[in-house]
Chain A
Amino acid sequence: MTITVNHYLVLSAILFSIGLYGVLSKRNAIAILMCVELMLNAVNVAMVAFSRYVVPTILTGQIFALFIMTVAAAEAAVGLAIIISIYRNRETVNVDEFDLMKW
């Protein structure tokens, strides 16, 4: 039983589904952000697996994963700053109670 690209892709799909479940079902905004990071990591695993097995010598997938990490770090910083700012005004981080843009 040799490990192929399919094994890594199924692992990536499992991680992505766990993250998707968390994003859809969590009440705490920080938990939702954590699950988004989980989904981005799942995509990165798929990218690096393709890079290793499909184009082993030109590293395109790894460059792509590097840029995804950059964007994920920026997203985490801005997202957490927004959450802290909302907490300062509303005394809560539960997304159920963020209805300030709801008509």
Chain B
Amino acid sequence: MNETVFSIVFYVLAAITVVAAAAVVWVRNIFHAALFLVLTFVGVAALYITLNADFLAAVQVLIYAGAVAVLLIFAIMLTQNARMGNRSNNQRGPAILISVLVLIAVGWTVWNTVWPAAGEEPTVPTTAPIAQLLFNQYVLPFEVASVLLLVAMIGAIILARED
């Protein structure tokens, strides 16, 4: 892809993602905040495509923009009554100060570090190589992750059940 086109695409996607993320903490209505969160997830999925991570982009759309978003909206529907908005507590000033300090520290550090860049072409498509890695080299973490999901599912059912 042409360098200039790629830069424009990156900046547009980054702007959409950051604006949507800011809207999540800015808007008053928590339901609107959840919808902006879905927009952020889709923006991140598009950024994964610019990073040649096609499988992860699909997984991001399925898990975050699909499953987690539905779960959040269900929880909002089940727990909100009219007086509950998306308001801030009385720590707003310190919270702004801490997050700006973290942004300056981390941003300055990552921007001024010279990362080792391998000039090789990335592997595309990534689905088959990821499957090879998951079922050979990383098969133990894969199994542990499936046990974790099972435990989380049983735990969520037990916690949310009427008794």
Residues of B within 8 A of A2 (CB): 3, 6-7
Residues of A within 8 A of B53 (CB): 48, 51-52, 62, 65
Are B51 and A76 in contact, CB atoms less than 8 angstroms apart? no
Residues of B within 8 A of A6 (CB): 110-111, 113, 115
| Alpha-carbon separation in the docked complex, A91 to B122 (Å) | 52
Size category of the binding interface on chain B: 35 or more
Are B44 and A41 in contact, CB atoms less than 8 angstroms apart? yes
Are B71 and A25 in contact, CB atoms less than 8 angstroms apart? no
Interface residue B12 (Cβ < 8 Å from any Cβ of A): no
Interface string of B72-115 (1 = CB under 8 A from A): 10111011100011111101101110111011001100110101
Residues of B within 8 A of A65 (CB): 53, 56
Are B107 and A13 in contact, CB atoms less than 8 angstroms apart? yes
Are A56 and B118 in contact, CB atoms less than 8 angstroms apart? yes
Are B79 and A41 in contact, CB atoms less than 8 angstroms apart? no
Are B86 and A28 in contact, CB atoms less than 8 angstroms apart? yes
Within 8 A of B (CB), among A3-44: 3-22, 24-28, 30-31, 33-35, 37-38, 41, 44
Residues of B within 8 A of A37 (CB): 37, 64, 68
Are A54 and B88 in contact, CB atoms less than 8 angstroms apart? no
Q: A9-B111, A34-B24 are in contact. Are A62 and B55 (CB under 8 A)?
A: yes
Q: A9-B110, A59-B126 are in contact. Are A77 and B71 (CB under 8 A)?
A: yes
Are A28 and B98 in contact, CB atoms less than 8 angstroms apart? no
| Alpha-carbon separation in the docked complex, A67 to B14 (Å) | 24
Residues of B within 8 A of A78 (CB): 152, 155-156, 159
| Alpha-carbon separation in the docked complex, A33 to B153 (Å) | 17
The residue from A16, A26, A81 contacting B106, defined by CB atoms under 8 A apart: A16
The residue from B52, B84, B88, B138 contacting A25, defined by CB atoms under 8 A apart: B88
| Alpha-carbon separation in the docked complex, A44 to B64 (Å) | 12
Residues of A within 8 A of B (CB): 1-22, 24-28, 30-31, 33-35, 37-38, 41, 44-45, 48-57, 59, 62-63, 65-67, 69-78, 80-85, 87-88, 92-96
* 11 residue pairs from A and B, CB less than 8 Å apart: A11-B18, A25-B88, A26-B89, A33-B72, A37-B37, A37-B64, A38-B21, A65-B53, A73-B68, A76-B68, A83-B79
Instruction: Given A53-B118, A84-B159, output 5 extra A-B contacts at Cβ < 8 Å.
Output: A17-B102, A18-B99, A52-B52, A52-B122, A80-B71
